[in-house]
Structure 1
Amino acid sequence: MLQWLRQLFHRRTPSKPAPHKPEPRQKPETVSTPAPVSEADPIAALMPFQIRPLHSSDMSELLGVFREAIQISAAADYDQQQRDAWSRGQSYDSLISVLSEGDTVVAEWDDKLVGFAHRIRDYINMVFVHPEASRVGIATLLYQHLEDGARIEGLTELTTHASLTAHDFFAYMGYTSEGQELAERDGIPLTRHAMRKSLI
């Protein structure tokens, strides 16, 4: 349905030719793989998003979002072996354990869970959006909720480990990379960025 709405909108809205510029290198976890940064999708304003706290009944859907985001959204940055190891990094039970601490919010669209984000104190641990709901601002809304909570708590900075896929998103949110490092999932190396943002 999202694709149909976009096609309908663009059919009715003439677009101006954009000046040519080189394509940026596409950018896998932070632990985070939000939707890639893009210009605002005009159809986003028509979509009934809801950002709300995590419910216990959300867990099975969250695991699906986690795995689909890795397998599809991170495909340009990580090979199949890396994505398989990464997506196996959380099970239903381990995800419950991880999300039991800190602040977790989820995004619903049309009564379907399409994204979630998790913060533990000053660390943004996860931001994942289902590929079918990417590029409409859901990752930004989820992230902003977590940052607002951190500011209310009086935190002065936030850190994260951003996947190659998520790097540009976090840079757009005001984070600075402190360099690349290797993480391992099932013995498979995954490159990521250590990133930091001042809230002062």
Structure 2
Amino acid sequence: MAEPTLSQEAVQASEPTDAFAAFLPFQIRPLQSGDLSKLIRIFRDAIQVSTAGHYDQQQRDAWSLAQNHESLISLLGDGETVVAEWDQELVGFAQRIQDSINMIYVHPDSARVGIATLLYQHLEDSARVEGLSRLTAHVSLTAHDFFQFMGFNSEGEEQADRGGVTLTRHLMRKSLVSN
């Protein structure tokens, strides 16, 4: 996947209603049925590439194959799922089920430009609107620092089983109410 860019023609053609919107390279929006077939690639590529510094090949294979196309589509039907679109290409998605951030995945070609942050912030904002007092997440070693930056605290490491392969992760929580 080539790194998406916004051409000047695309910016002018879109004629945003908000002058600031012309400078945003991506948008966060609700999941649509036409998005589903593209998300398995984002899921698998994010795991295989982005987590290589924390998990070996056997762990990454077990994790990325834990969901097939049908099971991922079924899972994404629960809770709230949002996608990130950059230059009309899907580059990430995130899901919240009740008070749990279940998934945040960004394609490695689009990583480190703020997409995961905006996906997360959208889910946190909707949790606040619903009146939730906290969020939890079972977080990979790779995502630990991101979640910590977003205000989560680790309650310790735990082990997850993916097809008989053990993956270490953190249970993390964040309070949404002021003390």
Instruction: Tell me the residue number matched to 1:147.
Output: 124
Aligned ranges 1:42-121 → 2 under 5 Å: 46=23, 48-121=25-98
Aligned ranges 1:28-43 → 2 under 5 Å: none
Runs of 4+ off more than 3 Å: 1-5
| Mean Cα deviation higher: 118-127 or 51-60 | 51-60
2:137 matches 1:157: no
> C-alpha separation between the residues in 1 aligned to 2:121 and 2:172?
16
Aligned ranges 1:3-18 → 2 under 5 Å: none
Scaled by the length of structure 1, the TM-score of the pair is: 0.77
C-alpha contact (below 8 Å) 1:47/1:109 kept by paired residues: no
Identify which of 145, 168, 174 aligns with 1:191. 168
> C-alpha separation between the residues in 2 aligned to 1:147 and 1:57?
25
Scaled by the length of structure 2, the TM-score of the pair is: 0.86
C-alpha contact (below 8 Å) 2:4/2:87 kept by paired residues: no
The letter for the 1-side match of 2:121 is: Q
- How far has the Cα of 1:60 moved from its partner? 1.6
> C-alpha separation between the residues in 2 aligned to 1:71 and 1:99?
20
Aligned ranges 1:118-129 → 2 under 5 Å: 118-129=95-106
Greater RCO structure (CA 8 Å; 6+ sep): 1
CA RMSD of aligned residues (A): 1.6
> C-alpha separation between the residues in 2 aligned to 1:77 and 1:60?
28
Q: How many residues align?
A: 161
- How far has the Cα of 1:59 moved from its partner? 1.1
C-alpha contact (below 8 Å) 2:4/2:86 kept by paired residues: no
Unaligned runs of 5+ in 1: 6-44
The letter for the 1-side match of 2:105 is: F
Q: Provide the identity percentage.
A: 66
